[in-house]
Amino acid sequence: MQVGGYPHFFLSSTVARMCTAPLIHVHRRPVRPPLRKRFVGAETRATRDDQKPVALLRGAIMINRRHAVFLLGAVAFGFASTRANAGETVQVTLTSTAIHLATDQVKAGTVTFEVTGSPDGDTTHELVVLKTELPDGHLPVQKDTVAESRFKKMGEVEDVAPGTSKRLTLKLAPGRYVLICNRPGHYAMGMHASLVVAR
């Protein structure tokens, strides 16, 4: 049956849509805040963060930035502290008749002596560190060796052969120190040197 040139079923469906349209409008949910856009690939699973409003996510990003700044500051402070605690290094060369220091003054704290036997020599030496105010060439000698018991002995390395190296690390307070090779007769040959530790 036709009405005004239009099929009856066309008019019926049009009237039905007009009648139900207000109901559909009434049942629509209120518009939510915009959601964060996230690219989810075939291998990426969506998380609960994908359902959070953008305002909340921005707050989380701000917090993460603050944490990042804090962590970077902590790392920088730790690096600076490590460098400060590393102390100083003194290169020491033991020849047949002398002790050569790369420097004769260091700052108080941790001091590392890199002791090397001269490859030109043919004798094994040692390095002894004594704390004393006496000049390095005026230490008391008994039986061709320095009387170490009369001084405060800080430490030593033994058996430094020609062409080899050893390390001695000490914590030194401000003051004067003498470095010697105390093998029999070696001190008398001139194997001694002075070191000043400043504040």
Give the phi and the psi of residue 14 in degrees, each rounded to 5: -65, -40
pLDDT band at 14 (very low <50, low <70, confident <90, very high): low
Are both 45 and 139 inside the same structural domain?
A: no
Q: Tell the burial category of 194 from Cβ atoms under 10 Å away from its Cβ (0-12, 13-18, 19+).
A: middle
Are both 140 and 190 inside the same structural domain?
A: yes
pTM: 0.59
Are both 49 and 96 inside the same structural domain?
A: no
Q: What is the b/e burial string over 67-105, where b = at least 16 CB atoms within 10 angstroms of the residue's CB?
A: eeeeeeeeeeeeeeeeeeeebbebebbbbbeebebeeee
Are both 149 and 56 inside the same structural domain?
A: no
Show the domain range for 62.
31-84
143 found inside a domain: yes
Please tell me whether residue 5 adopts helix, strand or coil conformation.
Answer: coil
Are both 47 and 120 inside the same structural domain?
A: no
Are both 37 and 97 inside the same structural domain?
A: no
Confidence (pLDDT) at 121? 87
Confidence (pLDDT) at 64? 56
Higher-confidence residue: 30 or 26?
A: 30
Residues ≥6 apart with Cβ < 8 Å to 6: none
What is the spatial distance between Cα 120 and Cα 183, in angstroms, rounded to a whole number? 19
Are both 131 and 180 inside the same structural domain?
A: yes
Are both 93 and 156 inside the same structural domain?
A: yes
Query: pLDDT tens digits, residue range 30-67?
Result: 555 554 444 445 455 555 555 555 454 455 445 455 55
Are both 136 and 169 inside the same structural domain?
A: yes
8 A C-beta contact, residue 157 and residue 164: no
Measure CA of the first residue to CA of the last residue in the chain; give whole Å. Answer: 112
Confidence (pLDDT) at 54? 47
151 found inside a domain: yes
- Whichever domain contains 100, its CATH number is 2.60.40.420
Are both 96 and 75 inside the same structural domain?
A: no
194 found inside a domain: yes
Q: Per the structure block, which two tokens stand in for 99? A: 């002790």
Mean pLDDT of the 111-127 span: 96
| Mean of all residue pLDDT scores within the chain | 77
pLDDT of 97 over the 80 cut: yes
Are both 50 and 144 inside the same structural domain?
A: no
pLDDT of 98 over the 70 cut: yes
What is the spatial distance between Cα 19 and Cα 43, in angstroms, rounded to a whole number? 46
Q: Tell the burial category of 136 from Cβ atoms under 10 Å away from its Cβ (0-12, 13-18, 19+).
A: buried
Confidence (pLDDT) at 51? 52
- How many structural domains compose the chain? 2
